[in-house]
């Protein structure tokens, strides 16, 4: 199709034709004819030219943390027997990834390869599309162009921001003392422990044939089952309960804190459950794979329109899985929600709450500030009396410091953060 220059030349040819007719100048007729035909010939040459060009694109990694290095590599090779035309490459990308990338590629001799590497550093969590990648071929006069899609869009997942929380954690045992993982003998387990004689009802698949050959009696493999410590992380991401906008909002602070907690407990070997105000608990096994599965949920989470936490808190307390430690990250709860949280203390062996001082994420009047402090103190006091450990956090608090005081110090420590101006 004609470019802007080609369209301008065609309109100029039409105007020149009328001028030549009015003045009866044959030379102007020839110039008008040439100006009108040249864009058409350029379009035919671009459209029907036979170029063999190989192309590849690699986006690595597909999952990363904010501020990480995202590398996009383009490789173009001329597979034909004649030089390739100059090309313009345009790779679509959202503003969070730096916006679209545009590159010009000079003509390549036969067999020549050209590689372009683009680095991007995403700053916010989410799922983003890189691409599709479009190529434009322009004739030497710049009068016509042809475009083609060389690569489809690829998804890139950016996790929430994660802070390193040190070495502390909630009690990792099932009974309050002893090792962090308890072992017992079971018909099915993780590791081989011993053999015993066959008893009626045993699983025949567990027969230990080497012992049978040695003793002449049916022997059953006895395994050792391991109990991993468990933790449930609860996040309140209701839009009506949070303050602020964008990356500096209280809901983003809470999501980042939740991601830091999940990452930290996963590294400590906890089996994890993640629950929010609008979804059933998501269960993940211990280890990196389970942790990354929960980070994927947090990466695409959006504030919800749920009005009350009471149904969500009832779901959190349901068995199985409602045991071990509970860490709640939420704005100041209402008295009804505080009562529901207090009842969870009888279900979980250890409960800790990080109450986000959402009003510190904006400018509020002194009287409203005093009311917010009073509501925050009332919620803290009620949870402490119910046996919770509580820590409040404001906009200027680092979650690493909040976590350390929540785990190490008993009771509640108030945030010293002041509202942002």
Q: What fold does the segment set 53-158 form as a domain?
A: Immunoglobulin-like (2.60.40)
Q: What is the mean pLDDT of residues 228-256?
A: 90
- Which residues are CB-contacts of 244 (< 8 A; sequence separation ≥ 6)? 250, 251, 252, 358, 361, 362, 395
Mean pLDDT for the chain?
81
**What's residue 418's pLDDT?**
35
Peptide bond preceding 61 in cis form (omega within 30 of 0):
yes
Q: What is the pLDDT of residue 364?
A: 67
Select from 414, 417, 370 the least CA-distant residue to 392: 414
- 44-102 confidence digits (pLDDT tens): 776 666 678 888 889 999 999 998 999 999 888 888 888 887 888 888 888 888 888 88
* The token pair that represents 1 in the structure block: 């199709």
pLDDT digits (tens, 9 = 90+) for 303-315: 999 988 999 998 8
DSSP assignments along 108-157, one per residue: --TT-EEEEEEEE---S-EEEEE--EEEEEE-TTSSBEEEEEEE--EEEE
230-413 to CATH, choices 1.20.58, 3.30.450, 3.40.1000, 3.40.50: 3.40.50
Instruction: Give me the residue spans of the domains in the chain.
Output: 4-48, 53-158, 182-227, 230-413
Q: Helix, strand or coil for residue 91?
A: strand
Q: What pLDDT, in 10s, does the model give residues 397-419?
A: 999 999 999 987 544 444 434 33
User: If DSSP codes are grouped into helix, strand and coil, which group holds residue 311?
Assistant: helix
> Alpha-carbon distance 238 to 233, whole Å?
16
DSSP 189-217: -SEEEEEEE--TT--GGGB-HHHHHHHSS
Q: Average pLDDT, stretch 161-182?
A: 65
Q: Is the pLDDT of residue 291 over 60?
A: yes
Q: What is the pLDDT of residue 38?
A: 80
């Amino acid at each position: 199709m004609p470019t802007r220059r080609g369209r301008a030349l065609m309109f100029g040819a039409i105007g020149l034709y009328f001028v030549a007719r009015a003045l009866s100048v044959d030379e102007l007729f020839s110039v008008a004819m040439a100006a009108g035909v040249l864009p058409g010939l350029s379009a035919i040459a671009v459209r029907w030219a036979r170029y063999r060009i190989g192309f590849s694109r690699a986006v690595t990694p597909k999952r990363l943390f904010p501020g990480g290095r995202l590398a996009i590599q383009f490789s173009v090779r001329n597979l034909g027997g004649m030089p390739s035309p100059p090309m313009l490459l345009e790779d679509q990308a959202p503003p969070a990834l730096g916006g679209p990338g545009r590159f010009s590629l000079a003509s390549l001799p036969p067999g020549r390869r050209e590689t372009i590497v683009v680095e991007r550093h995403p700053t916010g969590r989410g799922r983003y599309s890189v691409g599709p990648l479009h190529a434009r071929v322009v004739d030497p006069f710049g009068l016509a162009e042809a475009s083609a899609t060389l690569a489809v869009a690829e998804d890139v997942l950016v996790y929430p921001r994660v802070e390193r929380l040190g070495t502390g954690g909630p009690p990792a045992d099932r009974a309050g003392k002893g090792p962090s993982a308890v072992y017992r003998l079971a018909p099915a387990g993780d590791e081989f422990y011993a053999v015993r004689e066959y008893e009626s009802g045993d699983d025949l698949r567990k027969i230990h044939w080497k012992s049978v050959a040695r003793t002449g009696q049916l022997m059953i493999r006895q395994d050792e089952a391991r109990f991993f410590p468990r933790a449930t992380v609860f996040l309140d991401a209701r839009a009506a309960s949070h303050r602020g906008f964008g990356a500096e909002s209280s809901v983003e602070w809470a999501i980042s804190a939740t991601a830091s907690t999940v990452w930290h407990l996963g590294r400590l070997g906890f089996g994890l459950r993640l629950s929010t105000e609008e979804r059933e608990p998501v269960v993940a096994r211990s280890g990196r794979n389970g942790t990354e599965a929960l980070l994927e949920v947090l990466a695409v989470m959006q504030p919800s329109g749920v009005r009350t936490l009471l149904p969500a808190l009832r779901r959190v307390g349901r068995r199985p899985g409602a045991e071990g430690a509970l860490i709640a990250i939420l704005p100041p709860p209402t008295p009804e929600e505080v009562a529901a949280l207090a009842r969870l203390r009888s279900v979980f062996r250890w409960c800790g709450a990080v109450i986000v001082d959402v009003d510190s994420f904006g400018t509020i009047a002194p009287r409203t500030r005093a009311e917010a402090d009073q509501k925050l103190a009332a919620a803290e006091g009620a949870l402490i009396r119910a046996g919770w450990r509580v820590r409040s956090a404001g906009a200027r608090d680092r979650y690493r410091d909040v976590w350390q005081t929540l785990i190490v110090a008993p009771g509640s420590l108030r945030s010293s953060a002041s509202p942002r101006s």
